[in-house]
Structure 1
Amino acid sequence: MIRIGTSGWRYPEWRDGFYRNVPQRRWLSHLASHVGTIEINSSFYRLQPPSNYRKWYAETPADFVFSVKGPKLITHLKRLRHVEEPLKTFLDSLALGPKQGPIIWQLPPTLRFDHALLQDFLATLPPGRHAVEPRHESFRTNAYFDLLHAHNVAHVISDAPTFPCIEAVTADFAYIRLHGHDELYISSYDDRQLDKWAQQIRDWDRDTYVYFDNTMKGAAPGNARTLAQRLGMPLTSHT
């Protein structure tokens, strides 16, 4: 199972390109008709009410999957410490049912690898698919990889010019975020780069989630569709 999509969908920069002639109220359903998954980013900034998740569920195809970004209250403000209460509040808000995919925990760039801290955090997570995106070079260590492997938590392989790209698969699924190789959140991926990622995904031979986060100039939807084509997936998977 390979799911390829974008990080978010509410981008005014896409209005004159991918969303041309599409009213804003239909942006989600339009994008979901072209990709198999979307990463929900708004949950990182503020707690979303269950009604939002139910609305997004209703606007997407039956076989669609959302990944959900964990709150920055947990990752950036509390920095993974004493998170039981906000974690429960966040998990109770989710109302995606069978469309619930992995939860991604994006760590702040100033957070260094701390084995005990991360072990305690992983132990609090409920069953299901979780992925951790570190942004500090100190996570490039077997101690980190082994810890994720023990909990079947995916390391997020991030491609970006401003934080480390640590390529490691630590779970029974892989999780990739492509933020723009040359310019963060901006640059498009060329044929050579997409060929590389397509081959890497084939080599892993496991469930894989891929999210293009190069959204600021509208490259993400096209890159997602092209990578899907490289992997022999239909350009438009829903009708």
Structure 2
Amino acid sequence: MIPSNLSNASPRCYIGLTQWQHAAWQDNFLERSSHIHVLNAYARHFSSVEGNSTFYGLPKQSTVEQWYKESSDKFRFCFKFPQEISHQRQLTHCKNETQQFFERLAPLQEKLGLLCIQLPAAFGPDSLNDLENYLKSLPADWQYAVEIRHPEFFQKGNAEQQLNQLLVSQNCNRISFDTRSLFAHPAEDAVSLKAKEHKPQLPVHAISTGHSPMIRFITPLDWQWGAPYLDPWVSKAITWMQEGKTPYFFFHTPDNAEAPQLAAYFVQKLDASLPGCCLFTPWQEQNRQQDTLF
């Protein structure tokens, strides 16, 4: 079933970053008067965000209510399940924690895109039954995505086939994390090395197992060096939207300082084929920077 808040006759691709504030962004698209909330400023341009904070702990109820107030109707939050569920308990014996997660986010339900389960690299084929049982236990009126990091799920063998079949049967989206350009770049600065230490170096399988495929994309610090790796994703996004799917793309760099420019570059490429599909509003400074790329 496609949730009613995502169904739309027009092609749609949600675009976002891993956070909605960063010190490096204050002088361009986040520039605002003191009475404007930073999320409000972010949502003027981007249509989604990776909510990584819920991985570490649940927000206060008042905070969730403020997020609803400061975001537009078109905006979609994509929050991670808490690490206590995905990593510490690995999807077992976590009924209470799961219920608390849904209860806390309930005021935002109409603005939620994907709720994301990021599993540790140790979560392998032997744990697929736990994943199946957990997905079947979740409320059916929310959308879900799973990020797998065990190498055996990337070898196109029985384990990967079983995983994909499970996700298709549950209409659950498989997250693709494209780190190829990050690891291909020879940079040895501290920021880049830290990113390489913490990000997975795994093959990219551009597969859609649900209605809303989710792509996480990271480049080197010099994001333009990694831009050619985006071209196949432009084509894939167009194909998915032509199939009636609603993809989500989230953009990273090692320090995220220029992640907005990376996202805007992708939008410009995609808009050339499907104008307006990204629900993205450029900012003036970015327009001037983009002119130098072509």
Normalised by the length of structure 2, the TM-score is 0.73
Aligned pair partner of 1:177 in 213, 216, 224? 216
Count, aligned residues: 234
User: Which letter maps to 2:81?
Assistant: G
Aligned pair partner of 1:148 in 167, 177, 187? 167
Bigger shift: 30-39 or 7-16?
Answer: 7-16
How far apart are residue 194 of structure 1 and its match? 2.6
Q: For the Cα contact (< 8 Å) 2:264–2:282, is it kept in 1?
A: no
Query: 1:6 — aligned with what?
Result: 17
Query: 2:233 — aligned with what?
Result: 197
Task: Provide the secondary structure at the position in 1 that maps to 2:37.
Answer: helix
Matched, 1:227 2:238: no
Query: 2:132 — aligned with what?
Result: 119
Counterpart CA distance in 2 for 1:228 and 1:24 is: 29
Matched, 1:97 2:109: yes
* 1:34-45 equivalent positions in 2, closer than 5 A: 34-45=45-56
How far apart are residue 21 of structure 1 and its match? 6.3
Task: Provide the secondary structure at the position in 2 that maps to 1:109.
Answer: coil
User: Which letter maps to 2:247?
Assistant: T
User: Which letter maps to 2:39?
Assistant: L
Offset from partner CA, 1:29-67 (integer Å, 9 cap, x none): 111111111121111111112221211111112221111
Counterpart CA distance in 1 for 2:238 and 2:114 is: 20
Unaligned runs of 5+ in 2: 1-11, 155-159, 184-199, 284-294
Bigger shift: 187-196 or 5-14?
Answer: 187-196
In structure 2, the CA distance between the partners of 1:47 and 1:146, relative to structure 1 (3 Å rule), is same
User: Which letter maps to 1:188?
Assistant: W
Counterpart CA distance in 2 for 1:194 and 1:23 is: 36
Counterpart CA distance in 2 for 1:18 and 1:187 is: 20
Matched, 1:87 2:101: no
User: Which letter maps to 2:252?
Assistant: D
Q: For the Cα contact (< 8 Å) 2:174–2:208, is it kept in 1?
A: yes
* 1:131-146 equivalent positions in 2, closer than 5 A: 131-140=145-154, 141-146=160-165
Bigger shift: 149-158 or 64-73?
Answer: 64-73
How far apart are residue 17 of structure 1 and its match? 5.5
Larger Rg: 2
User: Which letter maps to 2:205?
Assistant: I
Counterpart CA distance in 2 for 1:53 and 1:5 is: 19
Query: 1:188 — aligned with what?
Result: 223
Q: For the Cα contact (< 8 Å) 1:115–1:144, is it kept in 2?
A: yes
Counterpart CA distance in 1 for 2:256 and 2:51 is: 19
Normalised by the length of structure 1, the TM-score is 0.88
Larger fraction in helix: 2
Unaligned runs of 5+ in 1: none
Bigger shift: 54-63 or 158-167?
Answer: 158-167
Query: 1:207 — aligned with what?
Result: 246
Query: 2:188 — aligned with what?
Result: none
Task: Provide the secondary structure at the position in 1 that maps to 2:120.
Answer: coil
Q: CA RMSD in A?
A: 2.3
How far apart are residue 85 of structure 1 and its match? 1.1
In structure 2, the CA distance between the partners of 1:58 and 1:215, relative to structure 1 (3 Å rule), is farther
